[in-house]
Structures are given as structure tokens and as C-alpha cells.
């Protein structure tokens, strides 16, 4: 006959069964784990979900590796770059289409909108794929100079405000027949300001006429701008450009030429910060461009017209360096950004119609590759597709 003996250890283990602290979990009568507090589980993979795909602004607290499920179509995404406001979500389901931050640089065309000599409403288009003269493709809703530009990276270009108290935000489609529409007003009607464009779908208008205002407007809506922050100092005639995560306001004039490089984040509404200096105080350098890694400021005034190309890095806050020259000296030109080249055109000293381009990869001098439809200054920078 077999005699079953219960040891002290066996009895202790039976007493330790339960779902409270320091207890062993025991399967229930259906062989399932009883209800426990899931928030206490560790080393579990985070899965986000929503009725649509994630966006660049879907900021996962779990960082890189976070999963996201579209509950409408079942598509799955993995976060492969967790940069606030500029996240990258890679589609790992059967479908296609990664969620990536758009590039500020254009692949096809740059645009010159408005300007002065005299004040005009003309919009020119410059080809990025072949060197040549610009083409007059249409008109703004109102003639203006001292304008700033923004782009939604693929569909529309925006021209903001202008001289003589013009507050209008004009929008035009990059594709199809040109038609400009008044879609809102800038809160501050100051002139000679810096523009920027964010992946989150906002256009920015900073400084001008000795103010510190940073205004932004939503590009997908017909709406006026709002004041979301301040520059470190008041100034006008600054250059504007942007990285994927920051808008930059560079140089300017306030009783003298300013050498400040400052930036403000797209992910939050806040004031800008001084992050570096130009080679020298520079104002009226409206022809600014940017590669994916560096910002550029071309031409402008340093007590007189210059043809200097200044460059600074986006990855670290640092001073600019003088890397090359454009083909001519001018102040208050316009410009645009292609994927491999920066463009600067027009400007004063006297008025020019020249189109210059310079390569990002080589830091070589710019070359004259064509002409605008008119000699013009005080015109838009930052319009490209």
C-alpha cells in the first residue's frame, strides 16, 4: 500500500496560491489565468491603435520599436525613428505606404512670388531639372513685396503677407492650371520677415519691422495665423529656413546688421533660442535654402551687398562658416531649395533678374543658370515642390 506524505514545502506552496502580492497564480476551473492587473506586467511590447494610420506627429512613449495597428484596415506599423513631431512609421503589414517626414527640398520647381521694382503680383516658376529661364505662370491675389513663403511639401505653396500692410495668405496648387486663392490673414502685418514650413502642416512667419512675433497658420485649413512665440530679439530683414524639426530665423537688421542664428521647435509652441552666429552680421538675405543636414544663407548686406554663401549644421548648434560665393552680390533676393542645389535669384544692387544655383555636396561657387521674367527684389523664398 502506498502512503502519500505531504511535506512542509508542499503545504506552503498551496497556501501561497492567489492573485495578491507574493502569491502564485493558479489556473481557474477553465484552465485560464484569473483576472490580474495588466498594468503591473513588465517587458511587454507596446501596441498603439487608431481608426487611421499613424502620422509623423504620433509620438510613441515607447520610442523606437513601438507597434501601431490601424483598426479600420488592419495595417501594422513599427516606429523606426522616434523624433517628436517627425516620427517615421514603417508599414510591416501586407499593404504599402510608410509614414515618413516629408523633405523640405523640392524635386521639380521653385517659385518666385511678388516682389518690388515696381511692386508686382507676378509668380515665376523655375525648373530644377534643367537650367534655363523662368516662366510667368500666374498672379497673386494682390501685388506685394517683402513676402515670405511656405509649402506643404507636395500640393500647395503659400505666400504670406507683404509690404504696405498686406496681411493676405495666398495659396496656389503646384499641379494643374495656376490659380491663387486668398485663404486667410497673418495676425501681424509687418513686412520683411522670415518664413518656414513644418511637417506637421503649418506655415510660419517670424519677425519683421522690428518685432519678435512668431506666427503660424494651418495649411490644410482656410484660417488666420496665431501668435505662438517670440524671437530672442526684435528684427526685420531676416532669412528663414527649416530642418525637419525646427524653424530657423537667421540674421536681420535692427539698428545694424545682426549675426544671430536662432531656432524654434515645430513640435511645441514656444519661443526661439539663440543657437549660433553667422560669419558676420547679415541682413536682407532673403535667398535662403536648406539641405537635409545644413542650413544656408546666400547673399545679403554686410554694410553693403555681398555674394557670400554661409552654412551651418542642423545636427548641432554651431556657428556658420563661409563656404562659397554666388555669381553676383545682391541684397533682398529670393530663393528656393532643391534636393541637391540651393537657388538664389533677383535682388538689389541694382535690381537683378539672374538665377544662381550652388551645390550642397561640394561647397563650390554658384553659377548663373538663367533669368527671371523681370529684374526684381524683395521677393519670396521657400517655395518649391
d(C-alpha 135, C-alpha 108), whole Å? 14
Per the structure block, which three cell numbers stand in for 70?
A: 490601424
Alpha helical stretches, state H, the chain: 8-15
- pLDDT of the chain along its 385 residues, tens only? 555 554 554 545 556 777 777 777 777 777 777 776 665 666 666 689 999 999 888 889 989 999 999 999 889 999 998 887 778 899 998 777 888 877 789 999 999 999 999 999 999 999 999 999 999 999 999 999 999 999 998 899 999 998 878 999 999 999 999 999 999 999 877 777 899 999 889 999 999 877 899 999 999 998 999 999 999 999 999 999 999 899 999 999 999 999 999 999 999 999 999 999 999 999 999 777 788 899 999 999 999 999 999 999 999 999 999 999 999 999 999 999 999 999 999 999 999 999 999 999 999 999 999 999 999 999 999 999 9
Per the structure block, which three cell numbers stand in for 317?
A: 548648434
CB burial of residue 296 (10 Å; 0-12, 13-18, 19+): buried
Query: Cα 302 to chain center, whole Å?
Result: 27
Where do the structural domains in the chain lie, given as residue ranges?
109-376
d(C-alpha 331, C-alpha 302), whole Å? 9
Q: Residue 141 has what pLDDT?
A: 97
d(C-alpha 77, C-alpha 97), whole Å? 10
Residue 157: count of CB within 10 angstroms of its CB: 28
pTM: 0.81
Q: Is the peptide bond before 350 cis (omega within 30 degrees of 0)?
A: yes
Q: Do 291 and 298 contact (CB within 8 A), yes or no?
A: no
Per the structure block, which three cell numbers stand in for 313?
A: 549644421
Query: For the segment 315-374, what is each residue's pLDDT rounded down to a tens digit?
Result: 999 999 999 999 999 999 999 999 999 999 999 999 999 999 999 999 999 999 999 999
Q: Residue 84 has what pLDDT?
A: 78
d(C-alpha 333, C-alpha 10), whole Å? 86
Per the structure block, which three cell numbers stand in for 278?
A: 553667422
Q: Residue 292 has what pLDDT?
A: 85
Q: Residue 87 has what pLDDT?
A: 86
Q: Do 260 and 268 contact (CB within 8 A), yes or no?
A: no
Q: State the sign of the Cα–Cα–Cα–Cα dihedral 178, 180, 186, 192.
A: positive
Q: Residue 1 has what pLDDT?
A: 56
Cβ-proximal residues to 192 (8 Å cutoff; 6+ apart), any chain: 146, 163, 208, 209, 236, 237, 238, 378
Does domain 109-376 correspond to CATH entry 1.20.1600.10?
no
- Give the N- to C-terminal CA distance of the chain in Å, as an integer: 90
Amino acid at each position: 500500500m502506498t502512503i502519500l506524505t505531504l511535506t512542509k514545502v508542499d503545504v506552503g506552496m498551496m497556501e501561497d496560491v492567489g492573485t495578491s502580492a507574493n502569491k502564485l497564480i493558479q489556473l481557474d476551473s477553465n484552465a485560464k489565468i484569473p483576472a490580474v492587473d495588466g498594468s503591473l506586467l513588465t517587458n511587454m511590447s507596446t501596441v498603439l491603435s487608431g481608426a487611421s494610420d499613424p502620422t509623423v506627429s504620433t509620438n510613441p512613449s515607447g520610442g523606437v520599436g513601438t507597434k501601431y495597428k490601424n483598426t479600420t484596415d488592419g495595417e501594422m506599423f513599427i516606429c523606426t525613428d522616434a523624433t517628436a513631431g517627425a516620427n517615421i512609421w514603417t508599414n510591416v503589414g501586407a499593404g504599402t505606404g510608410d509614414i515618413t517626414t516629408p523633405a523640405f527640398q523640392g524635386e521639380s520647381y521653385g517659385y518666385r512670388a511678388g516682389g518690388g521694382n515696381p511692386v508686382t503680383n507676378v509668380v515665376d516658376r523655375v525648373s530644377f531639372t534643367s537650367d534655363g529661364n523662368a516662366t510667368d505662370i500666374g498672379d497673386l491675389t494682390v501685388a506685394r513685396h517683402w513676402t515670405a513663403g511656405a509649402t506643404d511639401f507636395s500640393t500647395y505653396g503659400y505666400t504670406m503677407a507683404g509690404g504696405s500692410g498686406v496681411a493676405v495668405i495666398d495659396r496656389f496648387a503646384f499641379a494643374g492650371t495656376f490659380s491663387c486663392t486668398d485663404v486667410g490673414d497673418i495676425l501681424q502685418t509687418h513686412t520683411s520677415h522670415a518664413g518656414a514650413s513644418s511637417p506637421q502642416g503649418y506655415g510660419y512667419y517670424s519677425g519683421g519691422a522690428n518685432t519678435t512675433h512668431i506666427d503660424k497658420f494651418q495649411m490644410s485649413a482656410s484660417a488666420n495665423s496665431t501668435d505662438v512665440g517670440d524671437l530672442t530679439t526684435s528684427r526685420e530683414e531676416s532669412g528663414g529656413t527649416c530642418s525637419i524639426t525646427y524653424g530657423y530665423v537667421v540674421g536681420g537688421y535692427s539698428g545694424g546688421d545682426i549675426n544671430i542664428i536662432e531656432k524654434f521647435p515645430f513640435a511645441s509652441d514656444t519661443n526661439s533660442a539663440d543657437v549660433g552666429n553667422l560669419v558676420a552680421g547679415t541682413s536682407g538675405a532673403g535667398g535662403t535654402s536648406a539641405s537635409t543636414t545644413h542650413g544656408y544663407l546666400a547673399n545679403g548686406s554686410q554694410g553693403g551687398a555681398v555674394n557670400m554663401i554661409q552654412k551651418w549644421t542642423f545636427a548641432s548648434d554651431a556657428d556658420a562658416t563661409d563656404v562659397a560665393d554666388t555669381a553676383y552680390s545682391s541684397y533682398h533676393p529670393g530663393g528656393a531649395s532643391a534636393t541637391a542645389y540651393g537657388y538664389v535669384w533677383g535682388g538689389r544692387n541694382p535690381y537683378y533678374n539672374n538665377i544662381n544655383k550652388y551645390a550642397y555636396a561640394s561647397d563650390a561657387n554658384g553659377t548663373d543658370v538663367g533669368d527671371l521674367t523681370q529684374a526684381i527684389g524683395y521677393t519670396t523664398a521657400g517655395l518649391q515642390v
